[in-house]
Amino acid sequence: MILRGKSSEESSKESRGKLIVICGATATGKSGLALALAGRFPTVILSADSRQVYREFDIGTAKPSLSDRSQILHHLIDICDPQATLTVADYQAQAQELISHYHQQGITPLLVGGTGLYIKAITHGMNIPRVAPQPELRSQLATIPQSQLYQMLSQVDPPAATKIHPHDPGRTLRALEVFYVTGVPISAQQGENPPSYPILAIGLDSDWQTLETRIQQRTHQMLEMGWLKEMEYLIKKYGQNLPLLNTLGYAEMGRYLSGETDLDTAIQQTILHTRQFAKRQKTWFHSHPEINWFHVEESNFSEKIWLKIENFLT
């Protein structure tokens, strides 16, 4: 393979590249807004959803329909088999490659979704250790009490230990995993290298009453679209122990299909847990001051967003 430098024309186009982020809690209308905006200027949509990357998990992840995807080109959807694991580093690499590709064409992509870590990986240029999950190592470490694991982490990576709560087994295991695989503390491999192109971050917010109604409506809509049939197919093909079948919504509906609860209870639990998830998303995104917030209850909020984008693009 012969590598060549960018021509002056390519460099000029890439230097004009920008990125627009549409983020916020679940059910705030991010996908619908992105489709509406995409009709106003040349763009593509890059999904930032940690479950929509997986094939066959369609209805329960509120994946954009094939009709929507035929209107505007979508990327980073259906890029991984359900049995595999797509790491944040994997996602980041693919998203950065796509952004660079479109910048060379003078196109500003829309990065759309509610997975905060995916978005931050791109907008902040997070340095992420490329260490895939190690099931055997994790199973061995999981037999050790959390207090002892945290003490081990404090010895091999004191800076990481100061940032991880003593009762956070997930992050403790990950930090130890990275250290034992690479021999280098995770704290020494992290940091940020923000991209040089301009970024406009748009956040969609909603009052709780409106959001609760939207979550309820979407849950019932997914059931009407055949969510349970989708689940029956996935369980038959992959087995109930597939990790994705134990994520939000799928876990609750799975308990109904296995006879552990009735449908009404499964629906109410899905709505409750989705609302709790939305609250965590709100907390995450509101901790980032660079986001420009718009309330979906405001009149003409989409036009106000378009004016903001129009000024950004000129």
Query: Is 1 domain-assigned?
Result: no
Domain count for the chain, please give it.
Answer: 2
Structure confidence at residue 188 (pLDDT): 86
Say yes or no to pLDDT of 3 above 60: no
Phi, psi of 259 (to 5 degrees): 85, 10
Same domain for 241 and 144? no
Per-residue pLDDT of 66-123, as tens digits, reads 999 999 999 999 999 999 989 889 999 999 999 999 999 999 999 999 999 999 999 9
Report if residue 170 sits inside a domain: yes
Q: Is residue 278 part of a domain?
A: yes
What is the predicted pLDDT for the residue at 225? Answer: 98
pLDDT of residue 196: 94
Strands 110-113 and 19-24: parallel
Residue 260 above 90 pLDDT?
Answer: yes
**Nearest CA-CA partner of 60 in 244, 240, 269, 268:** 244
List % helix, strand, coil for the chain (3-state, nearest 5): 55, 10, 35
Q: How confident is the model at residue 9 (pLDDT cuts 50, 70, 90)?
A: very low
Average pLDDT over residues 229-249: 96
Residue 36 sits in the same domain as residue 95: yes
pLDDT tens-digit profile of 132-190? 778 889 889 989 999 999 999 999 999 999 989 998 888 899 899 999 998 989 888 87
Same domain flag for 228 and 114? yes
Q: How far apart are CA 277 and CA 109, in angstroms?
A: 27
How big is the CA angle at 218 (ends 306 and 223), to the nearest 5 degrees? 145
- Let me know: does 266 contact 60? Beta carbons within 8 Å: no
Same domain as 171, residue 98: no
Same domain, 166 and 20: no
CATH number at residue 37: 3.40.50.300
Does 214 share its domain with 151?
no
225 and 107 inside one domain = yes
pLDDT tens-digit series, residues 272-297: 999 999 999 999 999 999 999 999 99
Give the domain CATH number at 150.
1.10.20.140
In this prediction, residue 11 has a pLDDT band, given cuts at 50, 70 and 90, of very low
Contact yes or no for 63/129 (Cβ under 8 A): no
Strand partners, 80: 54
- 2 within a domain of the structure (yes/no): no
Using an 8 Å Cβ cutoff, are 228 and 242 in contact? no
Q: Indicate if 262 and 182 belong to the same structural domain.
A: no
In a domain, 4, yes or no: no
The verdict on 177 and 220 lying in the same domain is: no
Higher pLDDT, 189 or 228: 228
Residue-wise pLDDT for 190-222, tens only, equals 788 899 999 999 999 999 999 999 999 999 999
Residue that the structure tokens 């003078």 belong to: 106
Residue 58 has pLDDT above 60, yes or no: yes
What is the pLDDT of the chain when averaged over all its residues?
92
Distant-in-sequence, close-in-space partners of 167: CB < 8 Å, separation ≥ 6: 146
pLDDT attached to residue 117:
92
What's the sign of the alpha-carbon dihedral 77, 83, 88, 91?
Answer: negative
259 & 209 share domain: yes
Same domain, 143 and 20: no
Q: Is residue 280 part of a domain?
A: yes
Provide the domain limits for residue 142.
135-189
Shared domain for 281 and 158, answered yes or no, is: no
Task: Identify whether 69 is part of a domain.
Answer: yes
Q: Is residue 51 part of a domain?
A: yes
> Rounded distance, CA 253 to CA 212, Å?
19
Most confident of 44-58, 118-132, 180-194: 44-58
Return d(Cα 197, Cα 99) in angstroms, integer: 10
